[in-house]
């Protein structure tokens, strides 16, 4: 997948270690019986970080979310480390909070920091008791192995059914000072709008207040992760955190000025590209789908229509079959909970092979089925919808629905 950027922001390697002062590590502690796969990760900042976070909107919340919320409340939005495991979600367990709190204490002791300065997260099977012993036995090795190039080890430690690691980082300037912002994500299934969807960790060396970190995160999540759907299921453990340690040396951002807008743009670029990576790696997926809605009367309308198209199972199946069944797009637009004139709607299907006009003013237009097959044979498909009702636009991302999705989820616990 090609990264989408903007002038003034340069992509770089490093993920959560791209920013100054951050180290990471990952290893296999035994939660995953496959010793080739990491299942425990750690991220650490040498100085305290102003931190923002968003979580799942599912009524069932994993124990790590409850503990992380409690920790950030106790410190006033300050953190220094993240400890995260895969293979076991530590959700719906009677001892879940106790185990999540213990993970924080283990990390704190190994790092010489306060327990409340630790963010904890878990992902994997729901309803299975998390064994703490493997984590306890490997925490010292995990901490001792922290390095400024350990981002890949951490990124692979959070993977479950993911087929590839997901990392993005950018370099940019604030007031003439070079700054960095990078992140890692995991997610392939159980992904649906309304929060952050999956586990996602972002780090930056920008100096910015906790209040503005949280405000920027809330705004950017709305137009990135909340516009992502793979299968219609919202996870119980979804967590997205942003840690800002200020080591870049820029003047502290405490108001919504030009530098704040630049920070938001950097955050958008990283989260938007991670969102696309999550969509492209949907369980069993063969195609990344991006729906762009333009000329809407307001942002809510644009987002609602884009998400409606991306979430349609019938349309997702049509894209898997490379069938230009544009009626399914109109159907999904039609049941979107928004007000607009369906008789003004235009729809195009596009890819690297060209653009196919399929609908004008709410009605079909003739097109070549042969050319349609060529357009839809690509790995990335763009659904462009014009509402002709204003000047606002928004995007949503998803993937096709394939046979393999059922196979993967038919035996997930094994």
Tokens of 362: 């709410």
Burial 268-291 (b: 16+ CB within 10 A, else e): bbbbbbbbbbbbbbbbbbebbbbb
Annotated catalytic residue: which of 91, 156, 160, 197? 197
Does residue 68 carry a catalytic annotation? no
CA distance 249 to 175: 10
Q: Which residues are CB-contacts of 241 (< 8 A; sequence separation ≥ 6)?
A: 51, 52, 53, 68, 79, 82, 119, 200, 201, 202
How, if at all, do strands 228-229 and 392-399 pair? Answer: parallel
Tokens of 214: 């949280």
For 48, the enclosing helix (H) or strand (E) is strand 40-55
Within the chain, how many helices (H) and strands (E) appear?
Answer: 11, 16
Q: Report how far Cα 54 is from the mean position of its chain's Cα atoms.
A: 11
**Signed CA dihedral, 371, 359, 288, 230: sign only:** negative
Give the residue from 29, 14, 21 showing the smallest Cα distance to 245: 21
CA distance 198 to 210: 22
Residue reference for tokens 């002038």: 7
Give the residue from 267, 211, 208, 207 showing the smallest Cα distance to 240: 267
Residues designated catalytic: 197
């Amino acid at each position: 997948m090609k990264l989408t950027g903007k002038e003034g922001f340069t992509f770089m390697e490093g993920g959560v270690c791209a920013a100054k002062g951050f180290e990471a590590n990952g290893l296999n502690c035994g939660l995953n019986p496959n010793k080739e796969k990491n299942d425990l990760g750690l991220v650490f900042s040498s100085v305290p970080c102003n931190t923002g976070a968003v979580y799942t909107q599912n009524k069932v919340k994993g124990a790590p979310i409850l503990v992380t919320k409690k920790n950030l409340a106790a410190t006033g939005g300050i953190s220094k480390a993240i400890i995260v495991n895969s293979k076991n979600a530590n959700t719906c367990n009677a001892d879940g909070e106790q185990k999540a709190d213990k993970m924080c204490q283990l990390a704190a002791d190994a790092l010489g920091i306060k327990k409340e300065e630790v963010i904890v997260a878990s992902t994997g099977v729901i309803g299975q008791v998390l064994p703490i012993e493997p984590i306890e036995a490997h925490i010292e090795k995990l901490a001792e192995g922290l390095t400024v190039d350990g981002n890949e080890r951490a990124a692979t430690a959070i993977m479950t059914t993911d087929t590839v690691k997901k990392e993005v980082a950018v370099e940019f300037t604030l007031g003439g000072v070079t700054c960095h912002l990078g992140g890692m994500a995991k997610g392939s299934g159980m992904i649906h709008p309304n929060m952050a969807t999956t586990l996602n960790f972002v780090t930056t060396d920008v100096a910015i207040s906790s209040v503005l970190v949280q405000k920027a995160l809330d705004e950017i999540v709305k137009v990135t992760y909340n516009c992502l759907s793979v299968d219609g299921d919202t996870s119980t453990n979804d967590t997205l955190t942003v840690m800002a340690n200020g080591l870049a040396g820029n003047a502290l951002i405490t108001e919504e000025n030009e530098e704040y807008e630049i920070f938001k743009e950097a955050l958008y670029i990283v989260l938007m590209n991670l969102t696309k990576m999550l969509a492209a790696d949907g369980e069993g997926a063969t195609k990344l789908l991006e729906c762009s809605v333009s000329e809407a009367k307001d942002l809510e309308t644009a987002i609602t229509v884009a998400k409606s198209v991306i979430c349609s199972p019938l349309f997702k199946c049509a894209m898997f079959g490379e069938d230009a069944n544009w009626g399914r797009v109109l159907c999904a637009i039609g049941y979107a909970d928004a007000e607009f004139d369906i008789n003004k709607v235009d729809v195009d299907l596009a890819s690297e092979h060209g653009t196919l006009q399929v609908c004008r003013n709410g009605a079909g237009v003739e097109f070549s089925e042969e050319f349609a097959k060529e357009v839809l044979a690509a790995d990335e498909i763009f659904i462009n919808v014009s509402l002709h009702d204003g000047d606002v636009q928004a995007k949503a991302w998803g993937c096709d629905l394939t046979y393999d999705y059922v196979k993967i989820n038919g035996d997930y616990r094994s």
